[in-house]
Chain A
Amino acid sequence: MIKTRILSGYRQSALLGIVMMLSLVLTACGNDTPTSPAASTTAAASAATTAAAVSTTTAATGGTTAAAATSTTTAAGVTTTAAASGGTASGTLTLALDRDVQSLDPIMTYALVNGRWQQNVFSTLIYRGTDLKIVEGAGLATSWKFTDDKTLTMALRKGVKFHNGEDFNADAVVFTFTRLLDPANKSPQRFNYTSIDHVEKVDDYNVKFIFKDVDPVMIVKLAGYGAAIVPPKFIQEKGNDYVSQTSIPGTGPFKIVEYKKDNSLTLEAFDGYFGDQKPKIKKVIYRIIPDEATRLAEFLSGGVDILTITSSQSESAKAAKGRKVQVVGVPTVSGIRLDESKAPTDNIKIRQAIAASIDTKGIIDSILNGYATPQAIWQSPFSFGFDDSLKPYTYDLAKAKQLVAESGVPNPKIVYDYQAQSAQDKEIALAVKSMIEKAGIQVELKPKESATFFDDYRAGKLDNALLFGWGGWTLDADNTYYSLYYTKESYNPGYSNKAVDKLLTDQRATTDQAKRKDALFQINKLLYSDYPDVMLYQQQYLWGVADRVKDFTAPPDERLWLLPVSVTDNK
């Protein structure tokens, strides 16, 4: 009896012991991780959160503390160039990103969300402002000239330094493009620049781009973030993995201080920035918050100053004290693509009937809360090649019914594909189904997971109709038209028109912008009369902005430019 009791005591304790040991081992593991950062960082980050939370009240009560010159060295044990040289940058700005930045290396990133920080860290040879216009001489190239269709010469800015002190010069430009174009680096940005054969150094501050093919959109592409200029010595010394995941210097107004994966990216003002204007904010924190409801909660509680919100969140954001909403039209245009290689959408009368049956304004008002503008073609007004003389197809149910009758197709039925993850796409699909059915065409809805949707799209496996939105960062009709309408191209469901193909090819072969514009306008008209799509609208983005933030203008693309932005308090 006694023996049994002792043993049972051991058993109990052993059980307790095993559980405790496991907990201790796992807790010990927990302490070594980047998610439990060094004490100073933790303090800084939580202080920032608290500070932002407090600022809600301050901003709401109209606090306008002047941005006093601070020379205090802040955050996280940063050892890079001390910003104590009399810089007037002050305060902290917190922004939300909906997904992780994944890689700090400009040639390895492809998600649009990276535009929110990248331009502030890296400069490009060509600068494109927040109004999407190219500002000559504002980038790292002071002037440029096409000496012929396949040669571009550029004069480089002198006296520019990277955040690590390295000099910017022709070697950096040659290195940047050689690295981008090297297939071994597997850059997802590379394909945008493959028309470049190579870049030659003329002297320390002059370079020459030699092209394999004529690329009329190259100047805009050189303002894209794949073409961000990077420091050769730093990268050769540290290697690709380091610059991708730890830090990389650029020549922009802010430098990277710390990147915590899936958590935050922290930047700090760079006093050595080459521009006339210097950064006004001392510290910028991008917090990675994947869930949209959580992002809004952070915004409402003061944990985030700037973020994008959905149209359904706009009322809550507007109603909050000390918060405003900025609305901006973006280059992305949405429409319903109709596959001409499948019956019954191979019949133009059916396509016209579908177009006449859809009440775009109704969709915009009821589903998008009015945050969109109807469009006639697959280009936004920002785009080179946009023709505002073309008006959206008119909603006319009687005409739609008549067109169905004229088509000669008995009991027409179409299948409509959309991306299941998007609640908005689903609402639009339901609305469109009921509208088209009123005209006498049956509609079967087929929701698909996004990646599958795009795989099937490119493989030509989607059905009669599909809902799609696309912009194109180069803001040139060539960027999307070629993929959308050239016979058998990757994003063309089944449209084929030899005249369009020829015009697309011709405009690609010249840098004469007048000729290109003429060709693109002709394409617009052909597409408008062929009905390969029923265009819906140009999207609008809604940005929530805290009142403590001054001089922030929501950009039409996601490229935030924080140089002019300031905060009204030093928190």
Chain B
Amino acid sequence: MKHFISASIFFHKAIQIYVDKAMLRYILKRLLNALLVLLGLSLVVFITLRLTGDPVAMMLQAGSPSKADIAEMRRLLDLDKSLPVQYLSFLEKVVVGDFGRSFRYSTPALGLVLERMPATLTLTLAAMAVGILLAFPLGIVSALNRGKLIDFFSQTLSLVGVSMPNFWFGILLILIFGVSLQWLPVSGSDGPQFLVLPAVALGIPLMAVLARILRSSMLEILNADYIRTARAKGLARNSVVIKHALRNALVPVITVIGLQFGTLLGGAVIVETVFSWPGVGRLAVDSISSRDYPVVQTAVLLLGAILVLVNLIVDILYTVIDPRISAQ
């Protein structure tokens, strides 16, 4: 609680200091931009989905529908109208928050996606936490011990981490910790212990990427003049590494974290399926394969909105870390 209050105070001060008029204009401009991006996204999703197939025949799989049966169902779902008419009617409804009803669940698509969003965000953030917490010590230690055995070990670990496919690593974790050792549940989502394996499966590739970026970024900065000056001043080694080198090495790392957020959401699709984690990714994949248009559209738009927002936050964070980068 104490930490929370102090964090909030700093947060407010940070806003007072940094959110000036230029910044506000910048944020507004970026938000408008985001709207255009989402509009474009909606069109792309709308068209590509309809190019890939028809949901109706799949819905009528419990029997052998005649051509007339299929046509009737298409009419009932308004799929017999022309594409522009369907798209405009979709947009018209989205503006008032109506994303349509799922063909499979027969309930509002927005509700289905929102219900699963916390599960996906929890998994993504947990994976991010795993990735960041492991990458920092690994990257720093590696940079400080360049060319030594520990560097080689850490580099190999990163290479393995970045090369392993999510689903394969996930199944490996299940076999070791779920089936053989039985320390953790194999799959499901009924408590915090269920989060461990999927978060590790999703977080390790992020760790690998971040550790490598952090290492190279640190190495570059450790050779900079001001670091030599700091050392020459007689500052403690830890102080030089953390306050001077690490802080300056963070800019590329933060950029990568922002970019990797999208990768994590993408990876979550596979990890959610392997670990039976009830998130948006899994819903989206199921919905794509059964051509549940309203659900796919909603999921893509919401995930797109989150990604755009995260990138905006990352851009604002640059100015916080490095005042030389301004909102202009």
Binding site for B on A (CB under 8 A): 7, 10-18, 20-24, 26-27, 29-30, 32-37, 41-42, 45-46, 49, 53, 99-100, 102-103, 105, 108, 110-112, 183, 186, 188-189, 191-192, 194, 224, 226, 240-241, 244-245, 260-264, 287-291, 293-294, 297-298, 300-301, 303, 449-452, 454-455, 458, 472-474, 479-480, 482-484, 489-491
Question: Is A192 in contact with B105, judged by CB distance below 8 angstroms?
Answer: no
Question: Is B63 in contact with A192, judged by CB distance below 8 angstroms?
Answer: yes
Number of interface residues of B (CB under 8 A): 79
Say what secondary structure dominates the interface of chain B.
helix
Question: Is A191 in contact with B69, judged by CB distance below 8 angstroms?
Answer: yes
Binary per-residue interface labels of chain B (47-74) against chain A in the complex, 1 for a CB within 8 Å, 0 otherwise: 0000011100111111111110110110
Question: Is A244 in contact with B7, judged by CB distance below 8 angstroms?
Answer: no
Question: Is B104 in contact with A454, judged by CB distance below 8 angstroms?
Answer: no
In Å, the complex CA distance between A489 and B286 comes to 28
Residue contacts A-B, CB under 8 angstroms, 10 given: A10-B14, A17-B11, A29-B118, A35-B189, A53-B182, A186-B76, A301-B182, A301-B186, A454-B57, A455-B54
Q: A49-B188, A303-B186 are in contact. Are A17 and B7 (CB under 8 A)?
A: yes
Q: How far is the CB of B283 from chain A (nearest CB, A)?
A: 7
- Our pick among A29, A33, A224, A451 for the contact of B289 (Cβ within 8 Å) is A451
Binary per-residue interface labels of chain B (242-280) against chain A in the complex, 1 for a CB within 8 Å, 0 otherwise: 000001000000000000000000000000011110110
Chain B residues whose C-beta falls within 8 Å of the C-beta of A491 in the assembled complex: 64
Chain B residues whose C-beta falls within 8 Å of the C-beta of A21 in the assembled complex: 7-8, 11
Stretch at the interface among B30-38, B172-180, B203-211: B172-180
User: Across the two chains, which residue of chain B brings its CB closest to A115?
Assistant: B62
In Å, the complex CA distance between A472 and B193 comes to 42
In Å, the complex CA distance between A112 and B61 comes to 9
A-B contact count (CB 8 A): 242
Chain A residues whose C-beta falls within 8 Å of the C-beta of B52 in the assembled complex: 449, 451-452
Question: Is B278 in contact with A245, judged by CB distance below 8 angstroms?
Answer: no
In Å, the complex CA distance between A261 and B287 comes to 14
Question: Is B188 in contact with A287, judged by CB distance below 8 angstroms?
Answer: yes
- Indicate whether B221 reaches chain A with its CB closer than 8 angstroms: no
Chain B residues whose C-beta falls within 8 Å of the C-beta of A301 in the assembled complex: 178-179, 182, 186
Chain A residues whose C-beta falls within 8 Å of the C-beta of B283 in the assembled complex: 262
Q: How far is the CB of A53 from chain B (nearest CB, A)?
A: 6
In Å, the complex CA distance between A293 and B106 comes to 30
Q: A42-B190, A45-B190, A261-B115 are in contact. Are A100 and B63 (CB under 8 A)?
A: no
Question: Is B17 in contact with A10, judged by CB distance below 8 angstroms?
Answer: yes
Q: How far is the CB of A192 from chain B (nearest CB, A)?
A: 5
User: Which parts of B260-313 form the interface with A (CB within 8 Å)?
Assistant: 273-276, 278-279, 282-283, 286, 289-291, 313
Question: Is B53 in contact with A110, judged by CB distance below 8 angstroms?
Answer: no
In Å, the complex CA distance between A35 and B278 comes to 7
Q: A100-B286, A102-B105, A191-B72 are in contact. Are A451 and B4 (CB under 8 A)?
A: no
Chain B residues whose C-beta falls within 8 Å of the C-beta of A226 in the assembled complex: 62
Question: Is B54 in contact with A105, judged by CB distance below 8 angstroms?
Answer: no
Question: Is B70 in contact with A289, judged by CB distance below 8 angstroms?
Answer: no
Question: Is A32 in contact with B118, judged by CB distance below 8 angstroms?
Answer: yes
Q: How far is the CB of A166 from chain B (nearest CB, A)?
A: 22
In Å, the complex CA distance between A288 and B273 comes to 10
Question: Is B121 in contact with A294, judged by CB distance below 8 angstroms?
Answer: no
In Å, the complex CA distance between A262 and B284 comes to 12
- Our pick among B76, B289, B313 for the contact of A450 (Cβ within 8 Å) is B289
Chain A residues whose C-beta falls within 8 Å of the C-beta of B65 in the assembled complex: 191, 483, 490
Q: How far is the CB of A380 from chain B (nearest CB, A)?
A: 15
In Å, the complex CA distance between A443 and B204 comes to 44
In Å, the complex CA distance between A111 and B18 comes to 55
In Å, the complex CA distance between A313 and B191 comes to 29
Question: Is B66 in contact with A483, judged by CB distance below 8 angstroms?
Answer: yes
New A-B contacts (8) at CB < 8 Å, excluding given A290-B282, A450-B289? A22-B313, A26-B118, A42-B191, A49-B190, A103-B105, A262-B283, A294-B186, A490-B67
- Indicate whether B162 reaches chain A with its CB closer than 8 angstroms: no
In Å, the complex CA distance between A94 and B286 comes to 23
Q: How far is the CB of A125 from chain B (nearest CB, A)?
A: 18
Chain B residues whose C-beta falls within 8 Å of the C-beta of A16 in the assembled complex: 7, 10
Question: Is A27 in contact with B122, judged by CB distance below 8 angstroms?
Answer: yes
Chain B residues whose C-beta falls within 8 Å of the C-beta of A112 in the assembled complex: 61-62
- Our pick among A188, A452, A454 for the contact of B73 (Cβ within 8 Å) is A188
- Our pick among A18, A26, A472 for the contact of B11 (Cβ within 8 Å) is A18
Question: Is B274 in contact with A262, judged by CB distance below 8 angstroms?
Answer: no
- Indicate whether B119 reaches chain A with its CB closer than 8 angstroms: yes
Chain B residues whose C-beta falls within 8 Å of the C-beta of A300 in the assembled complex: 179
